[in-house]
Structure 1
Amino acid sequence: MERKRLGPHGWTSVFSLMRDGKELAAAIRANQADSLVPNAIDPYLQVIEDSNERCQFTGLRLMDVWRYFRYNWAMPYNSVPGRSMLALVRDAVAPNHPIIGIAALGSAIVQLSQRDKWIGWTSANFVSSTQDKPTIALARWVPRQLETLTQSIYKADLIKAGHVTYRELSRPTEDSISRLLAEAKIAWELHRRFPHRSKHKPRSYDDRHWKREALTHLFRAKRCETLAQLLQVRRTLNELNYEPKVDSLQALLAHAGGKKVLEALVRASKAEHIGIDMLDITICGAVPPYNPLLAGKLTALLLCSPEIVQAYARRYKDAPSIIASSMAGRTVHRPPRLVLLGTTSLYGERLNQYHRVQIPRGVAGAKETIRYAYLGESVGYGSSHLCAETVRELELLLAQSSRGRRVNSIFGEGVSPRLRKIRDGLDFLGFPSDRVLNHGNPRLIYGVPLALNFRGVLVGLEKNPRYILPQRGSREVSRAIARYWGSRWLSPRVERRPELLDIVAVNDIRLPYQHSARVDLPGLEEDALPLFA
């Protein structure tokens, strides 16, 4: 990356994508406060939509450019299973359009109680809101959701084996539910003993593959469990002669098993939407020399742009939903409708780059204010303080133990496989896993609604998002967001603290490259003692 190579416009390297600090500081000083954007800095968003996509100025792969600048972060980068998207924020005013900031979006964390409560995904919250306001929309949602979920499960093998009958699908009995749960227990045990990871690696994404996937021990267990839960819901509705009316919904809430019905349906609805209609911001920040100028906030603001929504839709419009397809035994396409972003701060300090970040109503055509809403603190629990070698040794220990490895990192096996592996290994060694995994570094949790009806979409009450920002003319919307950042954050920052421009000016792209964006590789001292003698 740092070696010069012949690009489309001459000799270039990754240093060609770093802006000279002296030139940037001079450009800011030479322009009026209200014209810094776009005269001194002209930001735009570039989503990396193809792993082989190259920079038009340097010829470098954009993926490699993103990875290079990612090495400036304090935390090591771990890939997240599921969906992902990378983006660069670039500066059109300077030669080669240098990098202002980088960002990454990935599949959302499944278990996050503060966020789930805010959305309405927790059982208690959903039941409480339904009791407070039982609407006709909710009354109709109950049977519709049940029917949709039931139809999404492959059942032919279960019927053939006698675990359930066609009649019991509409008129379930306690015995049919017990048979399914018993079969689920057997299938789980077989999966733990014979995980067969190779069977879960797709050779093709056609219906034959998804049928084979549905018949594996893992998804047979999941299908039996899920179908048993849904049949219990149907059994309760049958007892009440439920109809899609408010009176029936109120009767359901008054029934002894009514709350469990709603809990099961909202849990299934969360599972259906969390991997499709929301993403987490996993990386977001500025690259020197822009970081003293609050370009991290610029990057955070641009992630709300319709360019992100549309790039996500293009990337995944034809992608099969892996777990849904494996449960259905056929290809299932769920339209990607990005309505919510979530993220956590790197540290537990309230004054971070997400603090007070918002796009006010009217700016860039926003119908309402888009803000990074503070939702609470995480409990400071996880595995970020444990190195990869420790995890590998624990995995090896579990594989060689008589109990076997219960977590095999197969997609669909369960949430947080890394964390569960570590916990299993620590428990096997007799270590107090709760204490070891409590790193004591709580993080602040934020939610960023992109649609007015994001809750309705994520619960399954509504299909079509009503986006806050206009979806037409997305590039112009991004430019308007950048201009707002210039007037709200950049200009006041420079006026209030002019000495920051001296810090910016230190970054020199001339040899020997005294630039803070350059990755500082750790050296190995010859006289260093070995860690283990």
Structure 2
Amino acid sequence: MSTDEKLFGPGRSRAFSPYLAPGERKQLHALLNPGAALPASFADELRSLARRYIDDGDSIKLRAVCLLVADLCEQGWQVALESDRITFQPPGISRTDEQSVDDIKVRVRAALQSARRRQLQEPAVRNFLIRVERRTFRSGHRASIIDLIDDGVSLAKALRSIEHLPDDDREIALRGIIDPVVEIAEAGAKCADTGLPLIDIWRYFRHTWAHEYRSIPGRQMMVLIRNAARPLRPVMGIAMLASPVMRLAARDNWIGWLRDAAEERVRSEVWDAGDFGASLMHRIDSSINAVRWDDLATIDEIADPGETVALRLEQRAAGAAFARDQQLRDHYEMHRDADGQVRPHRGVLKSAQPDSDWRAASEDLLFVRKRAESLAQLLFAKGMLKGANLIREPAAGLERLFATRSGQRALDIALAEFRKAGLSSEVADVSICGAVHPYNELLGGKLVALLLTSQEVRDAYSRRYGGQTSVIASQMAGRAISKPADLKILTTTSLYGVGSSQYNRLVLRADDHPGLPYDIKWGAIGKSLTGGFGTLHLGGETAQALRSMAMSRHDSRRVNNRFGEGTSPRLRQIREGLDALGLKSDAILHHATPRIFYGCELSPGSRSALLNLTPATDTYATCPDIGAAWRRRWVMNRARREETLQALERLGPTSIRASLHADADGQFLLPIDGG
């Protein structure tokens, strides 16, 4: 049996041998005796060692390794140091683990909280908290963000005052105590009650979450839920809608964007074969029309693609990729500073402007490659779909496509085009969603999740993103392209991998709530039992060190944070940094924590509408109707429970400030009066 198997069990450990010089390895191993138990201060000692090294020369490697090992230890990974390697075992959840759901949540929460506590101690974050908590003259009177935290004692008193009313009267009176409204935190917008920027309000409450606050790329719409029935409209909860990940098997299978799911629905007649065949043809033609092709193919080739056009386009794409690689190397040598830093290569066009020359932008080598690659696939798929005669014989044609390898490839291409179109404007990920004290005791998290399906949120999303010129799509088309922002689907992921009480059984039935036009339902749509890939378990300092490693490895900057270059620049830079250290990036980025995925159709038939199989509805539930249903479904009974009212009385400004300013021993780091 190998050492790995003795330490962690067969097949579960991951061994890495980073590229370190003997002296560097000696310094790393000096922190502890190999084989001895890791001290509690191990992660802090590693970070302290890392900060003694500057980001240049060979020391950058030791710095990155120390920070990486510190993060993984803190996240519960088991670590063993040997003479020539470091061995890790991730703390994944398996069937053999004798852990309760609560045990798992405690372990994951503790790991996330360690990174959050470090962030809260950063000077910039501390200064921000002090600034917004300080009572300052704003909007005609002295105000603080503390004014936007409801007092649980006062709220419990108000609820007790109506508990003996008849149910009908009590329901009316309850609206006079809790009346949720949606407010979008946009740049420049200020709170009418305190004068504080809405984005600062959202950020303050985001810091109370279990994991550290990180900015994310792509679309992000910050949502505040406030109680219009209480003085100064205190914040009940927050949410964020973000760009969805490009590939998520559970979501794509649930929607029908994967071939196996599509085949099952056609065979079971959930989807009509004729409608699906016509939709496939239309999708491919629409995607071809969204690519500038006049310099890549002829009109006849577009209308009736032959067997050789795709091969020629693939060769054109390879040539453009080679030329761009040389372009990046030249840029690297020309713009490298004395300290080795290189500014990104952003191309000529950096953002959409009224006078942008999109045709010229489409001739950038990056987009020549992307256009040629895309057109090669689309023309191959069009040729296969036409050959299957989907319009006249849809059932037989689909049968042939599902049965052959080339037909399956054509279907995969068409379904991927549906996915790209949907993810660009009709699907959003709920990256933050929950209640703040004291409304968590009244199941405010369920309210926030439900209100994200409202007409008000959909309209706000459409106003924010609808009609914007898409930088990537416009460079692909060689002309200005704008897309609607018509939300149809919301998805999210459980933080702990063992279910979410916030989304479980989260259903409002239209039959039970007359104001609702249809049922609103969140539900589990799939699981990842073996975990997935991500960077949540790596801290910001570690990510920056790995970015530096990636830069030091290549003779060009390959991740330039440029639209169209690829998804998630952070993930790609971290992956390159891990590879540069000699580590298998997949082994580190695969966090081994199972996830449960949840989804919600914003109206009946939203999933089939994403494939143009049914028309989209124009009627959506409104915030007042959802708020009334939430009060009736959950708050009416919960507010009668004495244990709930007592719990409310313990929550409010003091409990929130304790979560932000208390140290590990529960002692306040700042004055409790907030200045």
> How is 1:70-469 mapped onto 2 (pairs within 5 angstroms)?
70-133=206-269, 134-158=272-296, 164-195=297-328, 197-199=345-347, 202-206=350-354, 208-240=356-388, 243=391, 245-246=393-394, 249-250=397-398, 252-253=400-401, 256=404, 257-362=406-511, 363=513, 365-378=515-528, 379-381=530-532, 382-402=534-554, 404-462=556-614, 464-466=615-617
Q: Does 1:3 align with 2:134?
A: yes
Say if 1:250 and 1:402 are closer, same or farther in 2 by CA, change over 3 A: closer
Give the match for residue 627 of structure 2: 482
Offset at residue 272 of structure 1 (A): 1.3
Q: Highest CA radius of gyration, 1 or 2?
A: 2
Give 3-state SS (helix, strand or coil) of 1:324's partner: helix
Asked if 1 retains the 8 angstrom alpha-carbon contact of 2:277 and 2:390, the reply is no
- Counterparts of 1:248 and 1:500, CA distance in 2: 61
Residue type of the partner of 1:165? T
Q: Which moved more, 1:441-450 or 1:194-203?
A: 194-203
Offset at residue 131 of structure 1 (A): 4.5
Give the match for residue 505 of structure 1: 649
Say if 1:410 and 1:193 are closer, same or farther in 2 by CA, change over 3 A: farther
Say if 1:459 and 1:322 are closer, same or farther in 2 by CA, change over 3 A: farther
Residues 196-239 of structure 1: CA distance to partner in whole angstroms, max 9, x if unpaired?
63326535434734323322222211111110011112332454
Offset at residue 45 of structure 1 (A): 1.5
Give the match for residue 182 of structure 2: 45
Equivalences, count: 507
Offset at residue 493 of structure 1 (A): 2.5
Give 3-state SS (helix, strand or coil) of 2:245's partner: coil
- Counterparts of 1:67 and 1:294, CA distance in 2: 21
Asked if 2 retains the 8 angstrom alpha-carbon contact of 1:131 and 1:250, the reply is no
Asked if 2 retains the 8 angstrom alpha-carbon contact of 1:106 and 1:279, the reply is yes
Residue type of the partner of 1:326? Q
- Percent same amino acid among aligned pairs? 34
Q: Does 1:63 align with 2:199?
A: yes
Offset at residue 244 of structure 1 (A): 5.0
Residues 11-64 of structure 1: CA distance to partner in whole angstroms, max 9, x if unpaired?
11111111122111111111127436313322222123x311111111111111
Give the match for residue 157 of structure 2: 26
- Counterparts of 2:242 and 2:417, CA distance in 1: 21
- Counterparts of 2:397 and 2:355, CA distance in 1: 38
Offset at residue 405 of structure 1 (A): 4.6
Asked if 2 retains the 8 angstrom alpha-carbon contact of 1:398 and 1:404, the reply is no
Give 3-state SS (helix, strand or coil) of 1:371's partner: strand
- Counterparts of 2:393 and 2:199, CA distance in 1: 53
Give 3-state SS (helix, strand or coil) of 1:300's partner: helix
Offset at residue 329 of structure 1 (A): 1.2
Offset at residue 367 of structure 1 (A): 4.1
Asked if 2 retains the 8 angstrom alpha-carbon contact of 1:90 and 1:97, the reply is yes
Asked if 1 retains the 8 angstrom alpha-carbon contact of 2:352 and 2:471, the reply is no
Q: Which runs of 5+ in 1 are unaligned?
A: 159-163, 526-533
Give the match for residue 109 of structure 2: none
Say if 1:205 and 1:466 are closer, same or farther in 2 by CA, change over 3 A: same
Give 3-state SS (helix, strand or coil) of 2:384's partner: helix
Offset at residue 434 of structure 1 (A): 2.8
Offset at residue 181 of structure 1 (A): 0.5
Say if 1:237 and 1:70 are closer, same or farther in 2 by CA, change over 3 A: closer
Q: Which runs of 5+ in 2 are unaligned?
A: 1-131, 329-343, 666-675
Tell me how large the CA RMSD over aligned residues is: 2.6
Say if 1:433 and 1:319 are closer, same or farther in 2 by CA, change over 3 A: same
Offset at residue 100 of structure 1 (A): 0.7
Offset at residue 399 of structure 1 (A): 1.5
- Counterparts of 2:355 and 2:273, CA distance in 1: 39
Residue type of the partner of 1:506? R
Say if 1:234 and 1:478 are closer, same or farther in 2 by CA, change over 3 A: closer
> How is 1:517-532 mapped onto 2 (pairs within 5 angstroms)?
520-521=660-661
- Counterparts of 2:225 and 2:601, CA distance in 1: 21
Give the match for residue 12 of structure 1: 143
Residues 446-494 of structure 1: CA distance to partner in whole angstroms, max 9, x if unpaired?
00001222122222334x4125xx44xx6xx312211222222223333
Say if 1:140 and 1:238 are closer, same or farther in 2 by CA, change over 3 A: closer
Give the match for residue 528 of structure 1: none
Residues 385-423 of structure 1: CA distance to partner in whole angstroms, max 9, x if unpaired?
111122222222222214645433322222333223222
Give 3-state SS (helix, strand or coil) of 1:235's partner: helix
- Counterparts of 2:538 and 2:516, CA distance in 1: 42
- Counterparts of 1:202 and 1:437, CA distance in 2: 30
Give 3-state SS (helix, strand or coil) of 2:499's partner: coil
TM-score, normalized by length of structure 1?
Answer: 0.88
Residues 254-302 of structure 1: CA distance to partner in whole angstroms, max 9, x if unpaired?
7733332222111111111112001111111111121122111111111
Offset at residue 173 of structure 1 (A): 3.2
Residue type of the partner of 1:213? A
- Counterparts of 2:459 and 2:510, CA distance in 1: 21
Asked if 2 retains the 8 angstrom alpha-carbon contact of 1:169 and 1:231, the reply is yes
Offset at residue 96 of structure 1 (A): 0.6
Offset at residue 248 of structure 1 (A): 6.4
Asked if 2 retains the 8 angstrom alpha-carbon contact of 1:205 and 1:331, the reply is no
Say if 1:144 and 1:209 are closer, same or farther in 2 by CA, change over 3 A: same
Say if 1:178 and 1:8 are closer, same or farther in 2 by CA, change over 3 A: same
Offset at residue 247 of structure 1 (A): 5.8
Give 3-state SS (helix, strand or coil) of 1:85's partner: strand
Say if 1:406 and 1:28 are closer, same or farther in 2 by CA, change over 3 A: same
